[in-house]
Amino acid sequence: MRTSVMAAFLLGLFLFVSQPPSVPSRPTVNEAGASSKTVDYEQRRASSIQNQTQTAVHPNGTRQQLPQTIIIGVRKGGTRALIEMLSLHPGIAAAESEVHFFDWEDHFEKGLQWYASQMPFSYPHQITVEKTPAYFTSSNVPERIYKMNPATRLLLILRDPTERILSDYTQVFYNRRQKHKLYQHIETMLIKNGDINMDYKALNRSLYYIHMQNWLKYFPLSHIHVVDGNMLIKDPLPEMKRVEKFLNLSAQINASNFYFNKTKGFYCLRNHGRERCLHESKGRAHPQVASPILDKLYQFFHEPNRKFFQLIGRTFDWH
Ligand SMILES: *[C@@H]1O[C@H](CO)[C@@H](O)[C@H](O)[C@H]1NC(C)=O
Ligand SMILES: *[C@@H]1O[C@H](CO)[C@@H](O)[C@H](O)[C@H]1NC(C)=O
Ligand SMILES: *[C@@H]1O[C@H](CO)[C@@H](O)[C@H](O)[C@H]1NC(C)=O
Ligand SMILES: *[C@@H]1O[C@H](CO)[C@@H](O)[C@H](O)[C@H]1NC(C)=O
Ligand SMILES: *[C@@H]1O[C@H](CO)[C@@H](O)[C@H](O)[C@H]1NC(C)=O
Ligand SMILES: *[C@@H]1O[C@H](CO)[C@@H](O)[C@H](O)[C@H]1NC(C)=O
């Protein structure tokens, strides 16, 4: 008995460690849960990884385990709002800080056991969630998450790509100013020799289709739910209902969980009588950009946006 348990453990460990690092092995058709041998194997392997990495059950009935759902981005898309709103649901246990497990090599090298130890304590019926917005645009992350568990459900919150760039710039601007570092004006970053500057990283992050293609190499579209970040700010409830549905959560989040704060101009959250607004840094004013440059950006994003809509079979009301 003991030896067979040990053998199973070692086998699991072996399977995990011996996975060749660069062979994408996503089974082709499994949309309808068609049970090919590969899918069974992948799922057993994921379950075994889950069992080996979770911490011992605490006397209060909770333990730390690998996330079954990950909010992968996008940076400045509204990931903080999304995870806070999702936490309103009693079936969710959300990590408080951004873990950066799959995108930072020194974290990734610590292994899945370490990753699990960064997770909140959860009850068996709860879904563990973490958010790291940089995952979406990091090219080696999809494969790494897939290898942890191909059944992982992914949440991606996006907003108008031009708006996202302005917000991205604003964050960097405030960070640099705080550190008394130099910062360039946004127009200098956006335009080079009269043309859109493709080397500006914030611009690349808004080319959603490029990054999405990477994810779709490993995950079927049915495992990725795109949240409309513009709508989540304007009217959070319908977007959150869609997220509940995607995760097969019971319908628990309701209108009384949200109230509009006129001073802030944003929705705040109410949970069991406790009221909470997002951090001050959310919703900062964006820089002024000359309208010919803005128009140039809107124009520039038409084609990348169209490609993205085609990839996901859905359109958004962006510029
Ligand atoms: C993982 O643990 C669960 C519950 O204890 C068990 O049902 C399942 O068979 C285990 N999976 C593997 C692959 O050992
Ligand atoms: C259960 O115990 C853990 C570990 O001490 C603690 O972090 C967590 O908040 C506790 N959860 C509940 C619901 O008491
Ligand atoms: C944007 O980033 C992706 C992923 O990092 C990279 O493959 C691509 O070459 C970049 N595109 C441009 C136009 O810089
Ligand atoms: C939710 O349930 C449906 C239908 O049973 C299933 O196809 C889907 O994979 C489930 N999603 C999750 C996140 O478990
Ligand atoms: C909304 O959910 C809360 C629990 O989170 C519950 O107490 C309240 O009755 C619900 N309100 C409505 C209108 O369903
Ligand atoms: C509304 O927002 C203002 C400004 O951030 C804040 O000081 C105030 O506490 C908030 N009020 C409520 C009821 O959330």
Q: Give ligand 5 pocket residues (Cβ under 6 A).
A: 254, 256
- CATH number for region 61-312: 3.40.50.300
What distance in Å separates the CA atoms of residue 139 and residue 313, rounded to the nearest whole number?
A: 22
What distance in Å separates the CA atoms of residue 42 and residue 63, rounded to the nearest whole number?
A: 24
pLDDT mean by block of 10 residues, the chain; 319 residues:
43 39 45 63 92 95 98 96 97 97 98 98 97 98 97 97 95 88 88 93 97 98 97 95 98 96 90 86 78 94 98 95
Of 274, 276, 277, the one to substitute when testing ligand 6's pocket (max ligand atoms within 8 A of C-beta) is: 277
**Residue ranges per structural domain of the chain:** 61-312
Secondary structure of residue 248 in the 3-state scheme: coil
How remote is the CA of residue 281 from the centroid of ligand 6, in Å?
A: 14
pLDDT digits 0-9 by tens, 120-148? 999 999 999 999 999 999 999 999 999 99
pLDDT digits 0-9 by tens, 9-49? 443 443 343 343 344 455 444 444 445 678 789 889 999 99
* Distance spanning both ends of the chain, measured CA to CA: 63
Question: Residue 231 has which token pair?
Answer: 């709508």
Alpha carbons within 13 A on the beta-carbon side of 311: 23
Query: Is the Cβ atom of 247 under 6 angstroms away from ligand 4?
Result: yes
Model pTM above 0.85: yes
Q: Give ligand 6 pocket residues (Cβ under 6 A).
A: 261, 263-264, 268, 275, 277
Give all strands (DSSP E) within the chain, no chain letters. 63-64, 69-73, 92-94, 121-122, 127-131, 153-158, 191-192, 195-196, 224-228, 258-261, 266-271, 274-276
Decide if 186 contacts 176 (C-beta within 8 A): no
Nearest CA to ligand 6 atom 1: 261
Question: Residue 234 has which token pair?
Answer: 């304007």
